[in-house]
Amino acid sequence: MHASRPSPLSDRTAPAAYAPPCTDPRPLLLVALCYGILVWQVGPMGLAVIGMGVMGALAHPFIRRRRTPGMVRGLMRFCAFWGLLKFALDMLVATPDVADALAGAALLSGRLAVLGGIGMVLTLAVSPRALALALAWALRPLMGDAAWRPALALALMLHFLPLTQRTVTQVTQCAARRQPHGGLRRRLTLVPAAILRILGQRTWQQTVALAVRGLDTPEAWRPCFAPACRAWLWAVLLTVAGWGLTLLPA
């Protein structure tokens, strides 16, 4: 990360301690939490309805611009792995019926895919700092002024997860192009070392950026959300509609 590039954890126009009110992420968090629970409660028909809604959200121009093919591929691999694992376990210990085992594996993969899509929409639609401020707001009655610590940890995690994924992809592609005939043993030595070195440098740069922008103090994580009455109304309506999906036949 270049020193002149603004940190994604802070406001781009003002120091963190004097940042203007940010977009309120709490209505979106309410909807994501509701549908994250409903994914495990509804039947296949309700899951299909939620899945179509998630696909529509992922197709939104703002989210589509920020989405990368690697995110979708990684989610699909994750869902396929757990679906195959459930199918294998069902065939071994639960039921010898292939059709039932396939149906159960497909349902689990679908639930995981929809749940991952909800998380993807949430992280792409809202900045890490806004999500962290919402967490600080929720934890403040329990933790008081110490609520900024888990908020900062969440913001850093949300920042470094895609950064780590991009770094791994870039280093792997670079190693494959520069040493196309290099052995597997050599790649297993060079690639992890390069990844750790790059991430170590970026971790230090991020640490300096946090200190410079004052994000390592409780004052920087005091929530100040702009009014969002319309967003709250939509969130309540979507939540009620979501729980209505439990009435659909399983």
The pLDDT-based confidence of 108 (bands split at 50, 70, 90) is very high
The number of helices, as runs of H, and strands, as runs of E, in the chain is 9, 0
Mean per-residue pLDDT for 94-106? 82
Residue 146 has pLDDT above 90, yes or no: no
What is the predicted pLDDT for the residue at 106?
92
With a CB cutoff of 8 Å and minimum separation 6, the contacts of 75 are 113, 116, 117, 120
What is the predicted pLDDT for the residue at 79?
92
Token reading at 248: 């659909």
With a CB cutoff of 8 Å and minimum separation 6, the contacts of 114 are 39, 47, 50, 51, 54
* Length of the chain counted residue by residue: 250
CA distance 108 to 54: 17
What is the predicted pLDDT for the residue at 150?
86
Model pLDDT for residues 185-228, shown as the tens digit of each residue = 777 778 888 888 888 888 888 778 777 777 777 777 777 777 77
CA distance 124 to 64: 9
Residue 2 has pLDDT above 60, yes or no: no
What is the predicted pLDDT for the residue at 11?
45
What is the predicted pLDDT for the residue at 107?
92
pTM of the model: 0.72
Nearest to 222 by CA among 156, 142, 134, 163: 134
